[in-house]
Structure 1
Amino acid sequence: MNTDSPDSLLQREQRLIEQAQPFAVVTVIRAAPPTSAWVGAQALVEPDGTLHGWIGGGCSRAIVIEAALQAIRSGQPKRVRISNEPAAPDADVEAHTMPCASNGALELFIQPSLPAPVVLVLGATPTALEACVLAKWVGFRVCAAAGATAPFASLGLKRVIQGFDVDAFNLAGPQLILVVTQGESDEDALEAALRSEAAAVLLVASERKADRLRDAMRLRGITAQRLAALHAPAGPSIHAHKPQEIALGAVAGLVALRHELEQSVADAGVPPLVGSEAVPALPPCESMASVEAPGARYVNPVCGMAIDIAAAKHVLSYGGQRFYFCCDSCKIEFERDPGKYLAIAQGATHGEKT
């Protein structure tokens, strides 16, 4: 047993937090003589059973360590009584007999500290940036991956990479992925997320778009088991429209799944985070393009959104005409049934001849 000073215990605790390692803090809340502990004495227990600090002699040490390890495994705090004194049963207290011949008594409070879960945000849209900020505020460790990393420079994230190579993060344990591409490489990002070992993948999208992307994932060979880990839409419906509002709903979904994961750990053996109620209804098209785009405008034949031709990123040439779309999903939808949308486009003279 390492009898660290209070300062060194705090330093050790901070180091374990920075290293994302679990531990438990044990505090003496009652001590009856002739025990050598005192009220307020503390110890820290690591997952390998190493105890740092002082909570009394060797008689109670094994009991305390085992109780602390149980708290780490369950993620739940507990009160422990080690005593031979007669006491009424208390469902909130884990009672043990005092093995020491001196016959003292101890009561302890054990508080586990588990690493904050990691959320990996895919995408560099305004909503993605807002989601990174909000997720940090509610206690997640946030990483990001996107086609461009510059937008994340000032956010102080754990790690940011270019592209959607989720495996490059080498994240241990069940993690959460939030896909917020909103029309920019949706299928590539979602496929990368679902091919990872993440416990859950949350997708910011309308139900209609999510269904289309599920179909696309099946065509790309994603199994039904992995699709069961997809939560789309990503959070509770709050009638969101602005990026900040959409991000708030998505992060609410992350918080709900975090608690579900914690409960599954406490219940021991329950598969974590597979399936949940469908959540938010977002606007029908998630592109951030303005309906009142300046300059030459073109009406997307799929969703009816006005597109600035000069700034359009999603363009398709078909039948001697060029068609413009606000996002990947609209372009994919057109390609699946061009006849349906050609009639709409020609009726409104939407197509631009090539």
Structure 2
Amino acid sequence: MNAETVDTVPATIGLLQLEQQLIDAGVPFAVATVIRVAPPASTHVGAQALVESDGTLHGWIGGGCSQAIVIEAARQAIRLGQPRRVRISNEPAPPDPEVEAHAMPCASNGAMELFIQPTVPPPLVVVFGATPTAHEACVLARRMGLRASPAADTARAGGPRFDAAVLDDAGASFALIATQGDGDEDALEAALRSRVGAVLLIASRRKAERLRETMRARGIADSRLAALHAPAGPAIHAHTPQEIALGAVAGLVALRHEREEAAAAAQAAVPQATVATEAVPPLAPCEMPEAPAAEAGRYVNPVCGMSVEIATAKHVVVYGGRKVYFCCDCCKAEFERAPARYLAAEPDHETRAGENRAEER
């Protein structure tokens, strides 16, 4: 390791730490890396600098002659959300559509080329529902690099159960409806009345068609219903909440990449098109809202996640000394095929156990 490398190690470690801090804070930035140098030049291949969206530069990529060019190119990369190559040189070279060329302003007349990689906050998906599937989807979406947050249920505040304005204020790109029988229509209407780009509904095709008709009756136009994707993801023959969530998040990932490809094509045609460059607020934990007090005496079906009223439940199985309630005979039959699997995935709520004991008495 030579002296020059030793000198650059602390700065590199500092930039890596700063990158992680900005990622955690949801702040957009770009990293510029020198990939080619022609003498005379005061930089070297591998030199790096981090540029924030306001133009603040951390690190070092050479003398002051080229800094202004690099900063503006980095800010443009952040605005477009796309990487770019930048050449700063007075050397004659054939045009290259993949390289942004600038004249070298320094009297030394050297040359350098950089690769600029922006990092912008990923799109936000708001997950509706207080079901096991909703929780699993929120956690898994974050693992897939999305920002995911549970939707606020305002039923106990006396207002509408879900509010479209909340999604718009948060800048949500996607809505995932995982209510599974508990507030489906209210959640779907709120999502469709917001400006989210896509609404994914966890439901069968038959149920989705019924909900589409309900939305039309509530005044949702067909042009807006085109944003509805139901079922939410590819058919993977899911049964458990984890499997259902996996299929839905696969649908989110596919839609995200489709949107990014379309945005890249649009930006190529309209260079002034931009993406958000503001810092995003921190996410709340993936804890689904608890059922309101009015839900006392109800039980969450471990197969489909639907809330079942204990007093009127017609489909009941006694397993391991406890009663398990289902919304229909199909869910009951599915549970009986593999009861341990479903109970292992079921949240252990003390209130539920209390409700069981009270009902059994």
| TM-score higher than 0.5 | yes
Shift of 1:92: 4.0
Within a 5 Å distance, the mapping from 1:38-53 to structure 2 comes to 38-53=44-59
Give the match for residue 226 of structure 1. Answer: 224
* AA matched with 2:139: V
Higher RCO (CA < 8 A, seq sep 6+) = 2
1:123 and 1:146 in contact (8 A); partners too = no
Give the match for residue 243 of structure 1. Answer: 241
2:262 corresponds to which of 255, 261, 264: 264
Give the match for residue 32 of structure 2. Answer: 26
Structure 1 unpaired stretches of 5+: 149-161, 273-284, 309-354
Which structure has more helix as a fraction of its residues? 2
Distance (Å, rounded) in 2 between the aligned partners of 1:127 and 1:51? 43
* 2:114 matches 1:108: yes
Residue by residue over 1:279-310, the C-alpha shift from the partner in whole angstroms, topping out at 9 and shown as x without a partner, is xxxxxx9565799632799998xx864789xx
Distance (Å, rounded) in 1 between the aligned partners of 2:33 and 2:189? 47
Give the match for residue 336 of structure 1. Answer: none
* AA matched with 2:118: P
* 2:201 matches 1:178: no
Shift of 1:210: 1.0
Residue by residue over 1:57-85, the C-alpha shift from the partner in whole angstroms, topping out at 9 and shown as x without a partner, is 23222322232233223322222222233
Distance (Å, rounded) in 2 between the aligned partners of 1:19 and 1:140? 14
When structure 1 is superposed on structure 2, of 6-15 and 120-129 the one drifting more is 6-15
Q: Please tell me the root mean square deviation across aligned C-alpha atoms, in Å.
A: 3.6
2:141 corresponds to which of 132, 135, 153: 135
Distance (Å, rounded) in 1 between the aligned partners of 2:170 and 2:259? 14
Distance (Å, rounded) in 1 between the aligned partners of 2:51 and 2:314? 58
Within a 5 Å distance, the mapping from 1:67-146 to structure 2 comes to 67-87=73-93, 90-145=96-151
2:124 and 2:171 in contact (8 A); partners too = no
* AA matched with 1:223: A
1:165 and 1:192 in contact (8 A); partners too = yes
2:88 and 2:103 in contact (8 A); partners too = yes
Give the 3-state SS of the residue equivalent to 1:40 in structure 2. Answer: coil
When structure 1 is superposed on structure 2, of 49-58 and 37-46 the one drifting more is 49-58
1:203 corresponds to which of 201, 204, 209: 201
2:175 and 2:191 in contact (8 A); partners too = yes
Distance (Å, rounded) in 2 between the aligned partners of 1:178 and 1:66? 37
Report percent identity of matched pairs.
64
2:78 and 2:119 in contact (8 A); partners too = yes
Shift of 1:237: 1.7
2:33 and 2:49 in contact (8 A); partners too = yes
* AA matched with 2:21: R
Shift of 1:235: 1.0
* AA matched with 1:262: E
1:27 and 1:55 in contact (8 A); partners too = yes
Distance (Å, rounded) in 2 between the aligned partners of 1:306 and 1:74? 48
2:70 corresponds to which of 59, 64, 81: 64
* AA matched with 1:125: T
1:293 corresponds to which of 316, 327, 334: 316
Give the 3-state SS of the residue equivalent to 2:317 in structure 1. Answer: coil
1:194 and 1:201 in contact (8 A); partners too = yes
Give the 3-state SS of the residue equivalent to 2:208 in structure 1. Answer: helix
User: CA, structure 1 residues 233+105, in 2 after alignment: closer, same or farther (shift >3 Å)?
Assistant: same
2:178 and 2:202 in contact (8 A); partners too = yes
Give the 3-state SS of the residue equivalent to 2:127 in structure 1. Answer: strand
Give the match for residue 215 of structure 2. Answer: 217
User: CA, structure 1 residues 39+180, in 2 after alignment: closer, same or farther (shift >3 Å)?
Assistant: same
TM-score (norm 2): 0.66
Shift of 1:208: 1.4
Distance (Å, rounded) in 2 between the aligned partners of 1:69 and 1:190? 37
When structure 1 is superposed on structure 2, of 206-215 and 6-15 the one drifting more is 6-15
Distance (Å, rounded) in 1 between the aligned partners of 2:212 and 2:37? 59
Give the 3-state SS of the residue equivalent to 1:294 in structure 2. Answer: strand
User: CA, structure 1 residues 216+171, in 2 after alignment: closer, same or farther (shift >3 Å)?
Assistant: same
2:205 and 2:230 in contact (8 A); partners too = yes
Distance (Å, rounded) in 2 between the aligned partners of 1:306 and 1:112? 47
Structure 2 unpaired stretches of 5+: 1-9, 155-159, 276-302, 334-361
Give the 3-state SS of the residue equivalent to 1:293 in structure 2. Answer: strand
TM-score (norm 1): 0.67
Shift of 1:43: 1.4
Distance (Å, rounded) in 2 between the aligned partners of 1:250 and 1:164? 21
